[in-house]
A = this chain, B = another copy of it.
Amino acid sequence: MPDPFVVVGGDAAGLSAASKCKREAPDREVVVFEKGQWVSYAHCGEPYFVKGEVDKLEDLLSLTPEDIAERDIDLHRGHEVVAVDTDAETVTVEGDDERYEQPYGDLLLATGARALTDPIEGSDRDGAFAIHGLDAAAAARAYLLDPAEDALADVGGEAFVDAERVERYGAMEPPETVAIVGGGYVGVEMAEALTAHDLDVHLFQRSEHVLTPFGEAVAGVVEDHLREQGVALHLNTEVARLRGADGRVAALECTDGTELEIDMAVVGVGVEPNTNLVEGTDIDTGESGAISTDDRGRTSTEGVYAAGDCAEDRHTVTGEPAWVPLGLTANRAGRAIGATVAGDPTPTGDIAGTAVVKAFEQECGRAGLLPEAAAEAGFDPVSETITAGSRSGYYPGAAETTVTLVADRESERLLGGTIVGTDRAAVRIDILATALEGDMTVGELERTDLAYAPPFSPVWDPVLVAAKVLHGRL
């Protein structure tokens, strides 16, 4: 019997690995340490919880601690791993007023990522939130409530929630004006969530466009749509600090000197991998700063794996390391590592950087490399953008759908693309994700026999129209 499989971090990657290992090798001891109280929760659902479309915090849990116990996983919540000794093959654990060494046979680092707040001075003021974690989401929703309502009952999650913080925010007068700092996923989703609460919503983006990873064609459509929905967009505008009195946020100040009175702020300027634990060890990190892994999730150190938002994967198109902290990647890599440590070597799979985001009614998708990244990776990118209908023009519900495709000039290989539209646009990005996994050329994509029926697609799906136009240019 080998030493236990020890997992650091009890969210998507960690618990996927623990569960899969237990399923494949029921006799193997599996120990999971989670420094917080929450485990196995749906981070991506937080904006919809703040919006109110998700009722209670516990709805966002994939597994309860009871489910985990039933799987015979030895879960320790409120226990932080503070050091790794790869020679002794132990981790140092702190929790319940004790500190001890835990030996491991295999070790998985699944420590996730943390929201960047340092760039914005004053992000720690009351009324300012980084929507990263259920406690922050709970506090934000409590803040939006009328003080006469029972905030703790409203947010749920009683066994885990930071009750003091929820009650403190619940007692405050609800905010009226919010500044969202950063126009990425969280920023755009929170603009929708807070507009639904009738707040006056201002979105600040340092660069020229929101949703940078989705490219300009998507950004243009989304920006028009955000404005139509009443969001005040401040593009090319860098936020310097959040100011206020008594520790509260009361104003936002931009680097150009303009100011805005606010009573709430959402700071979503990015995340960084939690890699403190590997500093000073022989576990390598990559250029991104995240932990380097091979195609089975193994780090540079024997017996140590990494997965999820703290780890790099390989990019489907370039074959090079890439750090794209998203949910499927974490779950899939965790599951594969769980199988591997149970004796069934399994590849973690590559990542195409496939992502979708809802911006009010607009559905946005992206996959692979857009022109700038493609050029950096040594390709000679050619790109075309088209707009076509989502259904037969005569069928009710047809909506404009904008597709961008990028290909390599010489090999004609598809490198990536984006999509935006209100009618089933998001799911269509999976066509590109699949074509990227299959190393397809634009010509092959153009000749793919996609589905056609008037309620669902025109004869030439927007993706095929884009492939036709791009192929014609190659």
Contacts and interface: CB of A to CB of B under 8 A. Distances in A.
A288 to B, nearest CB: 17
B452 A44 contact: yes
A236 B460 CA distance: 36
Interface residues on A, range: 35 or more
A429 B363 CA distance: 19
Contacts of A396: 53
A395 B354 contact: no
Nearest to A185: B453
A147 B435 CA distance: 54
Interface stretch (A96-104, A110-118, A321-329): A321-329
Interface in A18-53: 42, 44-45, 48, 53
B347 A447 contact: yes
A426 B461 CA distance: 13
Contacts of A394: 42, 45, 48, 54, 59-60
A141 interface: no
A395 B60 CA distance: 9
Nearest to A390: B427
Contact of A356 (B42, B328, B453): B453
Interface stretch (A265-273, A301-309, A438-446): A438-446
A264 interface: no
Nearest to A357: B453
Contact of A460 (B328, B357, B453): B328
A426 B433 CA distance: 17
Nearest to A61: B394
Copies of this polypeptide in the complex: 2
Interface in A132-159: none
Contacts of A455: 48, 358, 363, 426
A274 interface: no
A254 to B, nearest CB: 30
Contacts of A439: 438
A15 to B, nearest CB: 12
B426 A437 contact: no
A134 to B, nearest CB: 12
B449 A392 contact: no
Instruction: Determine which residue in A352, A426, A456, A464 has the highest number of CB atoms from chain B within 10 A of its CB, and name it.
Output: A456
Instruction: Determine which residue in A12, A353, A355, A451 has the highest number of CB atoms from chain B within 10 A of its CB, and name it.
Output: A451
Contacts of A435: 434, 437-438
Given A395-B53, A434-B438, A460-B328, A426 B453 contact: yes
Given A353-B449, A430-B451, A447-B349, A437 B440 contact: yes
Given A328-B459, A437-B444, A456-B356, A45 B451 contact: no
Contacts of A54: 394-395
A433 B449 contact: yes
A45 B12 CA distance: 45
Interface in A324-357: 326-329, 331-332, 347, 349-357
Nearest to A53: B396
Contact of A449 (B350, B424, B427, B448): B350
Given A459-B331, A460-B328, A434 B448 contact: yes
Instruction: Determine which residue in A424, A434, A445 has the highest number of CB atoms from chain B within 10 A of its CB, and name it.
Output: A434
A377 interface: no
Interface of A: 12, 42, 44-45, 48, 53-54, 59-60, 316, 326-329, 331-332, 347, 349-358, 363, 365, 367, 392, 394-396, 424, 426-431, 433-440, 444-457, 459-461, 463-464
17 contacts: A45-B394, A45-B395, A316-B449, A328-B450, A349-B448, A349-B449, A351-B449, A356-B451, A356-B452, A356-B456, A367-B449, A424-B427, A426-B456, A428-B430, A430-B431, A430-B451, A438-B444
Given A326-B452, A433-B451, 17 more contacts: A44-B452, A44-B454, A48-B394, A48-B455, A328-B449, A349-B448, A354-B450, A355-B453, A356-B452, A358-B453, A426-B456, A429-B451, A430-B448, A434-B438, A434-B445, A435-B437, A435-B438
